[in-house]
């Protein structure tokens, strides 16, 4: 996430969609029918700066999902940048480090993502996504990201005002945030795990930190926050 700029509600929603999208790709067991609601009926999924079209609607997107290898993988968002388009759409750009372990070792790439988002009331959706590999990912050790993406999908949904919580996470973090990060290392498909989430607000030397205990069934769109504990940062 870009530093130095307050994260708007729409930026949180855009990042919620991104983390949800990646977590679904990283472990089997998600609900495809429910997942499709994240995408506009005429969504365009392309590659190589639009040169290759993977999907142009829900039916072709289903075919693309079915063709994706059912393997463990990771997608770490290294950097993201959000802006509002002139037509009211959201524009989210990301640099993502992708990895997948295999019999011959870990392979991966650094991928540039360009996405467009429609903010329909109660149902924000991707209108278009382009994924273009720009560099090989030469890191030899595999680093899981499924639980991190699941946690951040939930956190950004709440900070964006599209997912309620009895724990008041939104009020604890406040609205003036520059950066939100999560440290989680649970293996793909874990049913419960802890997350250390930090948020940097208007005072960069006094971050806000919480420990979240998550409950997850993998099938649901988002994990559930079981307990939340505010932490004191020294």
Poorest-confidence range of 68-77, 157-166, 205-214? 157-166
Distance of alpha carbon 65 from alpha carbon 54, whole angstroms: 10
Is the pLDDT reported for residue 222 higher than 60? Answer: yes
Higher pLDDT, 33 or 175: 33
Kindly report the CATH class assigned to 9-136.
Answer: alpha beta
Q: Residue 134 phi/psi, 5° resolution? A: -120, -20
pLDDT in tens, 79-109: 999 999 989 999 999 999 999 998 888 999 9
Please say whether the beta carbons of 206 and 232 come within 8 A.
no
Q: Report how far residue 149's alpha carbon sits from residue 101's, in angstroms, rounded to the nearest whole number.
A: 18
Dihedral sign for Cα atoms in the order 34, 39, 44, 48 = negative
What pLDDT does residue 204 have?
67
The pLDDT value recorded for residue 54 is 97
Residue found under tokens 């075919």:
63
85, 91 in Cβ contact below 8 A?
A: yes
The whole model's pTM is what? 0.92
pLDDT above 50 for 190:
yes
For the chain, the structural domain boundaries read: 9-136, 167-231
Q: What is the pLDDT of residue 233?
A: 64
pLDDT of residue 234: 58
More confident call, 185 vs 121: 185
Tokens 């990301």 -> residue: 94
DSSP state of 177: -
User: Minimal CA–CA distance to 128: which of 62, 76, 54?
Assistant: 54
* Overall average pLDDT of the 7-34 stretch: 94
Q: What is the mean pLDDT of residues 120-141?
A: 93
* DSSP per-residue string spanning 126-149: EEEEEEEEEEE----S----HHHH
Mean pLDDT of the chain: 90
């Amino acid at each position: 996430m870009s530093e130095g700029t307050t994260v708007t509600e729409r930026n949180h929603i855009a990042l919620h969609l991104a983390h949800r999208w990646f977590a679904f790709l990283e472990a089997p067991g998600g609900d495809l029918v429910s997942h499709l609601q994240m995408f506009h009926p005429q969504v365009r999924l392309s590659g190589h700066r639009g040169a290759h079209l993977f999907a142009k609607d829900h039916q072709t997107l289903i075919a693309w999902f079915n063709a994706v290898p059912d393997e463990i993988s990771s997608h770490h968002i290294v950097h993201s940048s959000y802006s509002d388009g002139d037509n009211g759409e959201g524009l989210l750009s990301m640099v993502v480090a992708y990895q997948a372990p295999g019999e011959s070792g870990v392979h991966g790439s650094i991928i540039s993502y360009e996405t467009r988002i429609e903010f329909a009331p109660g149902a924000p959706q991707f209108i278009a996504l382009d994924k273009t590999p720009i560099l090989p990912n030469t890191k030899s050790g595999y680093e899981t990201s499924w639980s991190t993406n699941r946690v951040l999908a939930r956190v950004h949904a709440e900070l964006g005002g599209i997912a309620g919580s009895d724990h008041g996470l939104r009020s604890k973090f406040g609205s003036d945030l520059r950066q939100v990060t999560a440290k989680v290392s649970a293996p793909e498909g874990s049913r419960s795990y802890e997350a250390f989430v930090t948020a940097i607000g208007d005072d960069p030397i006094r971050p806000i930190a919480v420990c979240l205990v998550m409950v997850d069934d993998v099938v649901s769109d988002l994990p559930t926050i079981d307990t939340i504990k505010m932490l004191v940062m020294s």
